[in-house]
Structure 1
Amino acid sequence: MRNQKRFAVNHRGGVGEIGSICNHGVIQPGTIGKTLCNHHMQNAAPIPASVVNRDLRGCVHEEELAKLLGVWLYPGRVLGSTRKEDIVQFHPDLKPGWDWITRHYERIGLEHSQNVIWDDSYEVAQDFPGYKLSTFFFGQMANQVRPDPVRLEITKAMNQKNKFIALARYLGVPTPKTWLFDCKSEVQDLKDFPYPCVLKISESVSGLGVVKCETREDLEGELNALASKVPFQIQEYLAGAVFPSVQYGISEKLIFIIETANILEGVMHAGNWGGEPMPYRPSTITWPLARALWQLGMKGWFSFDAAYWQGKYYVLECNPRYTGAAYPYNVAAKLGARFWIHKNYSSSCKSLEELDLGELEFGASNHGKSNTGCEGWILVNWGPLAAGEGKGGFLYVGSPERFRRFEERLINLLV
């Protein structure tokens, strides 16, 4: 699985590409070879027109929206996926948390890059021609420094839910009942849809473009508020469904990585979990899609979100990028975890230096010995806490039976 190519990681977050820049030619846990990681969010960050379940009055620019949602600080989460020889690019706003997070990772025995550039512009990649570029999303800006027009075209296409559903239908892969529209003027009669239903903006991320409509009046109100030329879909609501995902990677070969499960709060993404035994196997229907994307030029990390409903699997969308599950999975896999769960938690800490996980830190009871059998918490998405935003993405590694106890203790610590 490992080759000797180099990687450069830039997971910059904020405008355009949601996440950070880490053009991942990365496949199995973490980067492979020398990588420049830049997980900036350019070209994949949400835009105001793609958000239907938040009050965004007065927010008209991508930069404003990225700061409102906090995602501009997310690029730091790629650090745990890196190796010592990698280079990471971060925005200077993350610099106050660097010393804390590197000490944290050293205590728990997590290998990571020691080489940081406090500049998250893609142009930096031109200074490292011998490194692979790992990005959160391969968009226009990444393509300018590592040209791959075929990859760019399929990535942009699969970032649109409508085009993905059309591909799934063409390949005969099961989908929920879904109506596709290029604009709201195409909708004829609201009586044609089942209720409740789900309105999904074709190009959106993290559940921001998804809203459940209980009644015809709800749907009418959402459509009235929608911009006139925004493509969207209306999908049947799968009451009682669970939502697993399948993670794949492509460098030269197509590789199945892992199946994970999404944690939702309503329609919003709230976390992920994985490990053995995993009761859901959506990969039984996603392989034809993965193979098609490989043939069409997809590269790097990507995933399919699915639903398990009434004993059957259905595909919902493609994430043609590094996903929210990818970062904690890489950390958990590097530490040899058999079960993990990652969620976002609020904190009263105004900086990372105020946070002391103490005995809740992963491996704290092992005093630096082998990680075998260890449990506890690892901070993966540390950027928001580093910048004083009062939240962070924490990864629990241990046994599923003990998670609730550890979660309660973490919440009490963060208050």
Structure 2
Amino acid sequence: MTRHKIFNHDIMVCTHESVEGNYLYCSRVLGLTEPEDIIQLHPDLKSQWNVITEHYERIGLSYSKNVIWDVALRVLEDYPNYDVSLFFFGNATSKAGCDEDWFHQVDSDWLNVVKFINSKNNFIQLAQELGVSVPVTSYFENKTGIKDLSKFLYPCYFKAAISVNGVGIHRCENQQQLSEILKRFPDEIPLQIQEEIAASSFLNVQYYVEASKLQRLAITSQILDGCVHIGNCYPSKHQPWETVEPIAEWMVQRGMKEIFAFDVAVVEDATHGETRYLAIECNPRFNGASYPTGIAKKLNIPSWNCENFRTQYRSLEKLDLSDIEFNPQTNTGVVIVNWGTILVGKISILIAGGVQEQNELRTILKERL
């Protein structure tokens, strides 16, 4: 008998309060669901439901119509016969509304591997043990372990061992800047100091687990605004699966489930004509690239990019996508991914087609937003 899923992709258990409209991000998983599944959505999204489902119907994207308008994790306890799909498996903040005991009861192995690898310090140590290439990194249990700032390579990056959305990450041009950041940083929090990489690009390397087996999902090129991820492009000319696979296999052996991804820096040495790949961190959870990747797989889209846009509108009804909506016959057009955030003037849209078609569609789209 096939077990179906209940999806709760509320990011409030793993986000920073500075992210505008973060309580609305649960909407973006709708395109990954199937009709038999159940999805939990924030009640504020009810006003957009008819428009987004009509859009998905027109482009041929399947989705769950079984909605629970409540994102509380305690709801999951009422559906023991469903597999759970969560944005982050664990209680990463005090806002989860569900204690850690519940996660232990559901799957303690999964919880433990997520907690372990979610620490950037643990990730670096494990990578070094497994022979995975990483930037030169010094890690500390707390800032009292840092005695000599002159020993670090500058510029460098100061990172809290646990952070999301680039929060807690600072570029330090010199010793003085690092010293100033350390003065403001809490005494008890683990941290790391990492050399700056002259990267030509950064990759998102995604895996998923199926029947306890590791599966390759997709490698996309990241679109970044400083340290903050704002989009992804697929396919990528770089395919360095072997760079991080030892860590991915280690995680699955210890109980990792669902989707997880690695950030990998691409370093191109023009002098020797070589390309190196350095693992930066692992996100033991769904991430921004997971949602367009899943939708593109379902719609058989071979080439796409997905970006976050600002819009003047506060309702999907105002958007005019009439002649640029995704067409399954041509494999081109736009698909709304993160639709709930339009309530705060943001929207995430997948643009399908070749590079030239993507550029043309993006131009039209931005004029209409």
Is the contact between residue 244 and residue 282 of structure 1 (CA under 8 Å) also seen in structure 2?
A: no
Per the TM alignment, residue 372 of structure 1 is displaced from its structure 2 partner at its CA by: 3.3
State the AA in 1 paired with 2:36.
E
1:253 corresponds to 2:223: no
Segment of structure 1 superposing worse, 209-218 or 316-325? 209-218
Cα distance, 1:123 vs structure 2: 1.9
Letter in 1 for 2:337: V
In the alignment, structure 1 residue 75 sits paired with structure 2 residue 73: no
Aligned residue in 2 for 1:115? 66
Residue 184 of structure 1: CA displacement?
A: 1.5
2:293 is matched with: 329
Tell me the alpha carbon deviations over residues 299-331 of structure 1, each in whole angstroms, 9 at most, x when there is no partner. 111111111113111111011001111100011
Aligned residue number for residue 94 of structure 2: none
2:199, 2:250 → 1: CA distance?
Answer: 30
- Alignment-derived partner of residue 45 in structure 1: 15
Q: Distance in 1 between matches of 2:11 and 2:285?
A: 13
2:167 equivalent in structure 1: 208
2:244–2:279: 8 Å Cα contact kept in structure 1? yes
What is residue 249 of structure 2 aligned with on the other side? Answer: 291
- Give the alignment's TM-score, normalised by structure 2: 0.92
Which residue of structure 2 aligns with residue 54 of structure 1? none
> What is the CA RMSD across the aligned residues, in angstroms?
1.6
- Structure 1 portions without partners, runs of 5+: 15-41, 47-64, 364-370
Asked if residue 347 in structure 1 is aligned to residue 311 in structure 2, the reply is yes
Report the counterpart of residue 354 of structure 2 in structure 1.
Answer: 399
Q: Tell me what 2:333 maps to.
A: 376
Amino acid at match of 1:373: T
**Cα separation, 1, equivalents of 2:352 and 2:63:** 18
Residue 229 of structure 2 is matched in structure 1 by 269
Q: Which residue of 2 aligns with 1:357?
A: 321
SS in structure 2 at match of 1:287:
helix
SS at match of 2:201: coil
Residues 6-405 of structure 1 aligned to structure 2 (within 5 Å): 6-14=4-12, 42=13, 44-46=14-16, 65=17, 68-140=19-91, 141=98, 144=102, 147-251=106-210, 252-275=212-235, 278-310=236-268, 311-363=275-327, 371-385=328-342, 388-405=343-360
State the Cα distance separating 1:269 from its structure 2 match.
Answer: 0.9
Matches of 2:71 and 2:190 in 1, distance apart? 31
The amino acid of 1:13's aligned partner reads I
**1:143 to partner: Cα distance:** 6.1
- Mean Cα deviation higher: 100-109 or 247-256: 247-256
What one-letter code is carried by the residue in structure 1 that aligns with 2:315?
S
Q: Tell me the CA shift for residue 256 of structure 1.
A: 1.4
Q: TM-score, normalised by structure 1?
A: 0.82
Shift, 1:77, TM fit: 0.2
Residues 162-187 of structure 1: CA deviation (Å, up to 9, x unaligned): 10111000111110101101111211
> How far did residue 291 of structure 1 move?
0.9
Using the alignment, how far apart are the partners of 2:21 and 2:297 within structure 1? 27
Q: Distance in 1 between matches of 2:317 and 2:20?
A: 23
Deviation at 1:4, TM superposition (A): 2.5
CA shift, 1:374, in A, is 2.8
> Are the aligned partners of 2:20 and 2:344 in contact in 1 as well (CA < 8 Å)?
no
- Secondary structure, aligned partner of 2:208: strand
Distance in 1 between residues matched to 2:136 and 2:73, nearest whole Å? 40
Partner SS for 1:263 = strand
Asked whether the equivalents of residues 143 and 152 of structure 1 are also in contact (C-alpha less than 8 Å), the reply is no
**In 2, Cα distance between equivalents of 1:350 and 1:403:** 25
| Structure 1 counterpart of 2:252, one-letter code | W
Deviation by residue 1:9-43 (Cα, 9 ceiling, x = unmatched): 111232xxxxxxxxxxxxxxxxxxxxxxxxxxx2x
Q: CA deviation at 1:373?
A: 2.0
The SS at the match of 2:314 is coil
Q: 1:234 to 1:301 in 2, by over 3 A?
A: same
Q: Which amino acid aligns with 2:241?
A: S
- How far 1:5 sits from its partner (Å)? 2.2
Q: SS in structure 1 opposite 2:64?
A: coil
The more displaced of 401-410 and 158-167 is 401-410
Deviation of 1:342 after TM superposition, in Å, equals 0.8
- Structure 1 Cα separation of the partners of residues 185 and 306 of structure 2: 33
> By how many angstroms is 1:260 displaced?
1.5
CA distance in 2, matches of 1:269, 1:395: 15
State, as a whole percentage, how many aligned pairs show the same letter.
Answer: 40
Distance across 2 between alignment mates of 1:126 and 1:149: 16
Confirm or deny: 8 A CA contact 2:199 2:266 kept in the other structure: no
